[in-house]
Amino acid sequence: MTIWRAITCLGDSALLLPLIAWMAIWLFLPPTAWRDGRRWLLAVAVCGGIVVLSKLLFMAWGIGPPGLNYTGLSGHTAMAILVWPVYAGVLARHGSVRVRAISITLGAMVGAGVAISRLALKVHSPSEVWLGAVLGVAVATWFLRGLAASDTQAVPRHTWHRLLLAGGALVIGLTCYGRVFPSQYVLQDIAVWLSGHPNVFTRRMRLG
């Protein structure tokens, strides 16, 4: 496995979907934190939904921004930039301002690494990666700002709560890292079914 392939695996749905679910469960554990859990599910639904919609519109009907080498937003990029900074921010939520800033920055660096890997592997065009990155940054920023705003009302978690979050993420990582979720094939089947066309629309311009 090359370094870029290793990095891009950090943005695959096979890893991120279980992590998203685990974060939601953890956020919902104390009833006082249900607001954060609901906001997290909304953030994931918005980010993932826009990515899926962009891909289906193109694959089914060829709809996309004119003049761009485009087949839909980069899902790896958008979801990695959403999940990793938010995970880091939630984990370091009750730390000092400096600790939280460092944690979120490290999470953002992981997301940025996934974005760069999509370009290095020539899976996506720059426009697809940039649009995915903008979406991920916007949704992650919305969630993290809401998390910071509710800190005064949040009940501080015991250390074992944070260890539970980290431990669950570690188990998910060891189990799911390196696997590939067949999202592209699933979306292609849905696009064909929706449009009634025999084939999906494909990229008009070569990458690289």
Convert the pLDDT of each residue in 19-49 to its tens digit: 999 999 998 887 656 888 999 999 999 999 9
Token duo for residue 32: 């006082």
Q: Check residue 158 and give its pLDDT.
A: 65
Q: Check residue 110 and give its pLDDT.
A: 98
- Please determine, for residue 160, whether its predicted confidence score (pLDDT) is greater than 90: no
Distances (CA, A) of 109 to 39, 40, 67, 115, 140: 23, 20, 30, 10, 13
Q: Check residue 157 and give its pLDDT.
A: 61
What is the full DSSP assignment across 4-52?
HHHHHGGG-HHHHHHHHHHHHHHHHSSGGGHHHHHHHHHHHHHHHHHHH
Convert the pLDDT of each residue in 62-85 to its tens digit: 999 988 999 999 999 999 999 999
Q: Check residue 95 and give its pLDDT.
A: 82
